[in-house]
Amino acid sequence: MKTTGGSDDQKRRAAERAADLVSAGETVGLGTGSTAAFAIRALGRAVEAGDLDGVRGVATSFASRQLARESGVPLLDLDEVEALDIAIDGADQVDSAGHLIKGGGAAHAREKVVDAAADRFVVVADPSKVAETLDRAVPLEVLPAARTLVSAGVEDLGGDPVLRTAERKDGPVVTDNGNLVLDCDFGELSDPESLAADLSATPGVVEHGLFVGLADEVHVGTADGVDVRTY
């Protein structure tokens, strides 16, 4: 589920600082969520001003694709690129080592493909997303027919899986890929690397929301600036 908290000003500062890292001619991964949206809009303004000629974006969701089009950012499909220069994306939680939990917007499968393909993955966040240790529920995108089996596997790993339900329609959330989402509470994650490996090895899991060792930088918007952390 989406994380609430943090002010729009904090999100905007982090996102606009990250957008400033993009150079003309680069291919940019466009993240999903309220903080990444500020970066997409900033890129659109720079494109309109003629400061980012030749820039192309690769969207991570239907929502980010629509916003990019509205903002004037030219787009490429994911299967048209072999690598990206930079990706800018948000996070539901980031720990002191730069590991992330993502998937509040149910877009983490495509986000992980795009973010991992980028030469430079920049996370944008507000202070409410920062924690010493990850402890939020981990989203799993799962094949619909495998939901019961995956739930049993998560319980064997010590987790508590809950099917994510939609807020403005009856029934469950369905991802852009046509799958379901389980939000899995494992408590405090003392070893996210090991859990990530176990979840990846669980049949029926399309992708999990642990982004371990992927972030190069985390930009945290504050009341009066941006705190930049590198890994």
99 touches 212 (CB < 8 A): yes
C-alpha 6 chain-centroid distance: 17
* Residue given tokens 């319980």 in the structure block: 155
Q: How many residues does the chain have?
A: 231
Q: Does the annotation place 175 within a ligand binding site?
A: no
Q: Which two tokens stand for residue 116?
A: 């991992």
Q: Does the annotation place 34 within a ligand binding site?
A: yes
Q: Does the annotation place 112 within a ligand binding site?
A: no
Query: Would you give the end-to-end CA distance of the chain in angstroms?
Result: 26
Q: Does the annotation place 35 within a ligand binding site?
A: yes
Given the residues 111, 141, 207, 217, the one annotated as active site: 111
Q: Does the annotation place 102 within a ligand binding site?
A: yes
Q: Does the annotation place 92 within a ligand binding site?
A: yes
111 is catalytic: yes
Q: Does the annotation place 159 within a ligand binding site?
A: no
CB atoms inside a 10 Å sphere around CB 79: 7
Q: Does the annotation place 9 within a ligand binding site?
A: no
Binding residues: 32-35, 89-92, 102-105, 129
Binding residues for substrate: 32-35, 89-92, 102-105, 129
Active site residues: 111
